[in-house]
Every structure is written in C-alpha cells, then in structure tokens.
Structure 1
C-alpha cells in the first residue's frame, strides 16, 4: 500500500461527504493525475474503496501540494509524504483557495487533461481567474463560489453516467425555464474500464442576494410563535404567498421537464410495484425505529390503497429530493436547486421516470418540518402544537393552490399515491432521525400518526 493510500484511509472517513461511515474497509486503491503544475500543484485522484461485503465506491479527491506547511490551511491538511528526502504536504484542494482557479480556466477553454474533459455549456461567461470560496454547509458534495458570478459543484462520489443535476439543468436551460440557475458547463472523467464517463462537476450561474427557503419558512414560524393571540394569516411574517408562488414554480419546472424529456403512462403494474417497495422499506424501518410498529398496519393499508388504485399516472423526470432547503427566493421569484435526487440512491435509480407527486409530497413534508422544528425538546404546549399544525396546513394548501393554478391540476386532492408518498417519506425521515438526530424523531412520528389515522 502506497503512502498516499495510507493518507486516504486515515483522512476520508472523517469527511462529511463520505457515505460509507461505519462500514469496514477491505482495500483502498487510487489513481491520479496532475491538473495544474503551478504553485501550488493541483492533482486529482480517484479513490476506490472496497468494503468487506465486496461493495466498491469511488470518490474524487483533488489535492494541492506544498513544499512547506501552510498554517492557514491546517484544517485542510490531508497529510505529508516523503519526496526525495523531504516532505511534501497534501491539502484538500477544495479548501485551498490558491488552487481553485484552474477548474474554471479549463472549463472556459474546453480542455481535456488526462482522463478529464471540460465542457462549457456555450451560454454565459465563465469567470476565469477568480478564486473559489468553499460552501461549508454541504453534506454529500463540495461547492465553490466564485465571486458573485458562478458556483462549481464537485460530485464527490463517482458513478458511471451523466449526473441528473447536469442533465436536467441542461434540459431546463434549453426550455428557457425561469426557475433555475443557468448551467455554464460540466466536467466528466473517463472510466478506466471503458464504461460510461462519470460526472465530476457542474458550473452554474451564482444567485446573489437570494434567501434560502428553509430559513424564510422557519422565520415565519418563529414570528407566529412570538404572537400568542394571532392566527397564521394574521402575522406579519406569513409565508403563504411565498408558498403559493413556490407551488407555481414547481409546476412550471414539471411542465417543462415533461415537454423536453421523456414521459410515459405508467404501466398497469407500476402502482403495485411502488406500493410493495414502500411496504418493504417500512418493514426494514420498523427494525430500526420500533416506535413505527404501532402505525405499521395502518401504513400498510395506505400502501395497499395505492396498489388497488386506478389513478392515472404519467411518469416523467422529477426533482427527486424537493424540500425547502433546495429552493432560493430572489427578487423575481423562486429558483429550484439540486436536481441530482437523493444522493444515497444509485444514479440509475435517480434517473428513472416517476410521478411529479413525489416532489409535491417532499415539499409538503418540508412544511411539516418547518412548522414543528421549534417544538423539538420543548415542554409539551398544546397551543403551540395547534399553531404548528395551523401554519403547516395553511402553507401546504397555498403550495397546492399555486401548483394547481399554474398547471390546471390539483396535486393535493384525494390521491392515494400522494398520501403514500408522504407516508413513505416520513418513514425514511424516521430512520434518518433515529440514526442522526434522535431528538427530532418526534417530527416524522407525529406526521405518520396523522397520515396513518386518516382512515
């Protein structure tokens, strides 16, 4: 094992974007090449991790190399390796501001370097020469913001095929949809085994002076709780108008995706397959979250209603992971971000056609979270519980009204599929919270009680 793979073995498990935490490694290998030989030197490495169950994952790790330790990069240090009797210091290049400019230079030039190919989109200016500043809040990817002009998202986990985030943004760009940030280019890396190239990164126009949807929604909830005797529609920070516009924006994106990408009527057995998948996920979740057991039978009835439904479904490309944290409000409207779907799912699964109701359900669940997050670890307060439910119901209805007005279709009627999508999402949330934030488990459990109790 080389000194570099030793460094990766020690460093990678502690990175937020690493998806294999807690799994036992059997082997780690890497291959790399130089992307820029300036100062600092920039190299790019594919790190392949084989676990003891023989599952293999590949991660992209750019490194910057320096002859001497950089005190201001102490938190980005990967390690040191011997080099002709001296030590050379490797840093996480995405956190080394001096090594971030080459990504945009090569994109603007449409370069091909080693196995990596840079493809500008042909629209919009790529700001060559600017350094990038890391976005510190991300989990599964790493992004750099270049001034007020552009944002580069690096996909840490590599999978063969075009990433849905690039594919869908390109399609919506061609459709001239106003609810996305323009795609400026993307980067791919060839498969050494001759398979499809993997998407490495994408560059988009940066949206300055925008407000995160989650922060706006939760600020509205705080305003409501601060007014002890006012209803949600009487508070100055009422969010319903924004929710309605967000529903219209979501409908616009769905309509354009259906216009420029494939659609199909769901086959006769599709609803049954979806229901069975939900039931299987529930069975697995009960083993992890025993509190789900009391609702399990009622949830199975919710899923069974889908299997027996004759609801017409047209499948198309969708967002796949829509929630308030994936949207930005600007002075002119809503921008929807991150069309890559749930990162934990395989890329092929994320590109499958699905019902737009999955996105609707994701946003409805997000309103519940926004309404209830301030109740976590607080003494039981019947009035606040009522107000949380009132806020969530008002904004869920406003979102659905906006979607209906823009599309001509009410997405939130008596649809067994929508109800099942909501319940399935809440089951997923229960597993996530039990593993990561046990004190938040009450939020999806309360929603499941509501969804399972509707008869």
Structure 2
C-alpha cells in the first residue's frame, strides 16, 4: 500500500493462537532486524472464536523472493549469497532461542543461550518422520513411486536418528524456512512469513534449530532443480552449485553461532534425517496441492540416492 506497508490477508482467517502474534513482539524485543518490521495485526471474533484476519508489516523496496533471485544465482553459478543466509538464519535462531518457555512471563534475555541439553526431543519426531515417508510412498505413483519404493530402506535408515532422544536445545523455530521466505531487497536480506508449516498438523512449537536449517538447505537443492528444468542449467553444474552453496551457508551459520556464544544450538547429526523428512513432505505437498512440483523433490532424492549408493 503506497510503497509504505504490506498488508497480508489470511484466507481463510486463522483461529488464534497464531505463531506470528507471539514471534513478532519477541523479535522486536530481541532486536532482530532481519525481517520486515511488524506494525499491526487485525483480528475479529468469528463464530465465537478470535481469528487473525491480516498482518501489517513494513514495505521493503525492490524485494524479490528466493524462488526468483536464488534461481538467478544458481543459473549464474554464484554462491556469495549463501554466507549472508547463514548469518541471517543464525541471528534468527539466537533471537528465537530466548523465547520464553510456556507460562514464563519473565523478561527477555537476549544474551547468549545455554548450549546444554534442555530436555528430550519433540515427542514423536521419529514417528512423524516415518509417517511422512509412508505417506509419500503411498501418494507417489508411476515410475517415481516405483523408484521411491526401491529406496525406502535407505530412506528409513537415514530417518532413524529421529527415533532416539534428542539432546540438542529445543527453541521456537521459523517452521517453514526456505528460500521463498527470504527476500532480497534494496538493503540486504529479510526472512518473512512466520505462520508455521502449513503441511504439518500439530507440529511442536519448540524444535531443534536443525529442523529450520535442514529445510533451508533442501530448498537450495530445489532451486538447483528449478534451474535445471526452467533455465536449462546442466545437472552436473547445478549439483556442484548446490554443494558449494550448502557448504558456505553452513559454515557461516556455525561461525555466527560460535561468535555469539551459541555453538551448541545446532546438532548436525539431525540435518540429514530432517532433510529426508522434508523431501517426503515435499512429495506429499505435490500430491495433494501442486502435482507439477513433484519433479523437484524427486530430482533431489535421485541425486542423493543413486544406484551405486543403494545396498
């Protein structure tokens, strides 16, 4: 509106509580500036329950989302952006790591987090991942479905760590962090859309930071698949770009956590299990809502599980 604010209308309206209404005030208090500044929320009582109708945030000039600017980077073979994304994600997680526990109304301490374990992992993390694989296998048909079934054993092995207790800190996470949620604008990068993951019902609000990181890294793989399909980038070059971009992002993320006193926030043993689960969820999303998207997660999985790596 008038290159001043952006009004995001929720259709349909979302019943409260809503993640954004908790997270935005906390990010402001924690002095996290890597998002569009939140200004207001419009709510109303509908059928006897309060609902969120719209969110109002600041307008970021010349903004483009990652499904545009990041595909351009993949086509050009550039990876310098990945360090910026790693720093942005680490800063976001450090801010969210100070989110009060349920029922804690105490003041926000935006200082370094306690890097030690703070409890068991999300209840049912392993079961939820196994369920995602089972559903992906059930919903993916044809040649892709047959290929996926042939890799089911390898996929289950990579998901197995999620069945064990998780000792890494559990924090409020973004929950749907991919390059499409990261705007490149006139003055840098901004992460947006704190609505949670629309494809996961009943997800825990507090999860390992590795969940967000894994979704972000897999989205780089998806960008490579988009570049192959829509920009005719040779597959080998796209795969090499993904590897370099992933490595730069993770290095920058680790360095920023260490620099700001939170090196224990990321448990790297969880990255591949969460990545595999995310690809299963991408297949479920494609089957239910956007069939033409199936090529992206299938392309990623075929890259991860070639014939010579299956026993």
- Do Structure 1 and Structure 2 share a fold, with TM-score over 0.5? yes
Measure the CA separation in 1 of the matches of 2:2 and 2:94: 33
Partner of 1:114: none
SS of equivalent residue, structure 1 residue 259: coil
SS of equivalent residue, structure 1 residue 342: coil
Alignment of structure 1 residues 116-265 onto 2, 5 Å: 146-193=1-48, 195=49, 197-223=50-76, 232=77, 238=78, 240-262=79-101, 265=117
Report the TM-score when normalising by structure 2.
0.82
SS of equivalent residue, structure 1 residue 187: strand
Instruction: Find out whether 1:307 has 2:163 as its counterpart.
Output: yes
Measure the CA separation in 1 of the matches of 2:288 and 2:166: 35
Measure the CA separation in 2 of the matches of 1:437 and 1:161: 27
Note the C-alpha offset of 1:433: 2.9
Instruction: Find out whether 1:293 has 2:185 as its counterpart.
Output: no
Which structure has the greater CA radius of gyration?
A: 1
Task: Sort the Cα spacing of 1:200 and 1:265 in 2 relative to 1 into closer, same or farther, 3 A.
Answer: farther
Pairwise CA RMSD: 2.8
SS of equivalent residue, structure 2 residue 41: strand
Higher strand fraction: Structure 1 or Structure 2? 1
Does the 8 Å CA contact 1:299/1:423 hold for their aligned counterparts? Answer: yes
Note the C-alpha offset of 1:280: 1.4
Task: Sort the Cα spacing of 1:343 and 1:273 in 2 relative to 1 into closer, same or farther, 3 A.
Answer: closer
Note the C-alpha offset of 1:441: 2.6
Note the C-alpha offset of 1:266: 5.7
Note the C-alpha offset of 1:344: 4.2
Question: Of the candidates 275, 300, 303, which is equivalent to residue 447 of structure 1?
Answer: 300
Note the C-alpha offset of 1:256: 0.7
Listed one character per residue, the Cα deviations across residues 258-312 of structure 1 (whole Å, up to 9, x for unaligned) are: 12333895644x367211111112112211112321111111111223324x652
Query: Any unmatched runs of 5+ in structure 2?
Result: 103-115
Report the TM-score when normalising by structure 1.
0.57
Partner of 1:404: 254
Task: Sort the Cα spacing of 1:426 and 1:411 in 2 relative to 1 into closer, same or farther, 3 A.
Answer: farther
Task: Sort the Cα spacing of 1:412 and 1:392 in 2 relative to 1 into closer, same or farther, 3 A.
Answer: farther
Partner of 2:130: 279
Measure the CA separation in 1 of the matches of 2:200 and 2:128: 14
Task: Sort the Cα spacing of 1:178 and 1:337 in 2 relative to 1 into closer, same or farther, 3 A.
Answer: same
Does the 8 Å CA contact 2:5/2:58 hold for their aligned counterparts? Answer: yes
Measure the CA separation in 2 of the matches of 1:338 and 1:214: 15
Does the 8 Å CA contact 2:168/2:264 hold for their aligned counterparts? Answer: no
Task: Sort the Cα spacing of 1:307 and 1:317 in 2 relative to 1 into closer, same or farther, 3 A.
Answer: same
Partner of 1:352: 205
Measure the CA separation in 2 of the matches of 1:377 and 1:214: 12
Partner of 1:97: none
Question: Of the candidates 282, 304, 308, which is equivalent to residue 429 of structure 1?
Answer: 282
Note the C-alpha offset of 1:150: 0.5
Note the C-alpha offset of 1:250: 0.8
Does the 8 Å CA contact 1:320/1:339 hold for their aligned counterparts? Answer: yes
Note the C-alpha offset of 1:422: 0.5
Does the 8 Å CA contact 2:61/2:186 hold for their aligned counterparts? Answer: no
Does the 8 Å CA contact 2:117/2:169 hold for their aligned counterparts? Answer: yes
Note the C-alpha offset of 1:378: 9.5
